[in-house]
Amino acid sequence: MLFLASVPETFEFAEVGARARHLGRLRLDAAILAQDRELLSLGLSLRVAGVPVVVARKGLAIADDRPLVRWAHAAVAHGVIAPSERTRYEIARLGWLPLERIRTIANGVDVEELRRRSEGWQVLRDDLGLQPGQPVILSIGRLSRHKGTVHLVRAFARVVADHPDAQLLLVGVGFRFRTLTEVVAEENLGRSVHFLGERWDAPKLLRLADVFVLPSLYEGMSTALLEAMALSVPVVATAVSGTPEVIEDGKTGYLVAPADPVSLAHAISAVLDDPRRAARMARGALRTVTRRHSFQRMVDAVEEILLHGW
């Protein structure tokens, strides 16, 4: 397998031949490209070198619909891997390439590895200054508009009214950080909302949480959500894109409408108010991940495409 440490920033037609000769010497069986930039800068050279090109998309929240990108998907890529059926049909509607050249392979996680990485999570409560018994609400994701974090903060202001000791942990960075801090100040949540930035101990943080919240306005299929389910953390998420393909509302988690702080707050409070039911849903979520979203199942599906094609 080849990992590209550096990808050219732009597509230069004059460089296609030289790049193709270099890539040909690597004797690649196939190439999986994850970003439009990679497809544009390397896709044609890979095809000239006789290397099958597969595009693996996380989603379409920031899809680039320029004519050159459309052409690259249609003419250069052998096919596209989508993380959910909803995303698969969204790509087809864009007209980049026909539905039969788009394959759904759901994201997967390694449950045992997550459990191993979550060991020792108890010390985080003291490290983060959390008091015993304080309910912890966790969200992981970029601080961008489509992640819907501002609606979570608004919802949390309602949750605190009934659970005054509750704490909200936000993991991630992004250009909406300043807006979010302003909303926190506006809602007088300065002592209850914690911006943790980028972290490398997500499994430990998940084990610490009483509820994991995914408030996205769009989501192909969230790995953070799958990790929370794999660690038996009760989950609340918005019913967008591929998320309803993962969560069965009321059975393996709660689904709410996007951009609706009132419904989001109600679902979070429902988890905190009824921990026994939340625990039952979490156990069901673990079964879902184990059966349908294992890392090995995802790897096997990708390998099948690379070895046998579409």
Q: What is the pLDDT of residues 27-86, one digit of tens each?
A: 888 889 988 888 888 888 998 999 989 999 887 755 667 788 888 888 899 999 999 999
Quick check: 2 pLDDT over 90?
A: no
Q: Which two tokens stand for residue 154?
A: 């608004």
Q: List beta partners, residue 214.
A: 237
pTM score, two decimals? 0.92
Question: Could you tell me what percent of the chain has a pLDDT over 70?
Answer: 95
Quick check: 1 pLDDT over 90?
A: no
Distance in angstroms between the alpha carbons of the first and the last residue of the chain = 20
Cα 133 from Cα 272, distance rounded (Å) = 12
| CATH 3.40.50.2000 residue window(s) in the chain | 13-108+295-308, 111-292
Stronger pLDDT, 91 or 154, i.e. the higher one: 154
CATH class of 111-292: alpha beta
Please answer whether residues 218 and 61 qualify as being in contact, where contact means their C-beta atoms are separated by less than 8 angstroms: yes
pLDDT band at 9 (very low <50, low <70, confident <90, very high): low
CB under 8 Å to 68, separation ≥6 — which residues? 11, 40
Q: In 3D, which of 233, 239, 241, 276 has the Cα closest to residue 254?
A: 239
CATH class of 13-108+295-308: alpha beta
- Specify the pLDDT at position 62: 58
pLDDT tens column, 103-136:
999 999 999 999 999 999 999 999 999 999 999 9
Cα 228 from Cα 226, distance rounded (Å) = 5
Please answer whether residues 101 and 298 qualify as being in contact, where contact means their C-beta atoms are separated by less than 8 angstroms: no
Average pLDDT, the chain: 92
Q: Which two tokens stand for residue 140?
A: 């992981």
Q: Which two tokens stand for residue 32?
A: 């999986």
pLDDT band at 163 (very low <50, low <70, confident <90, very high): very high
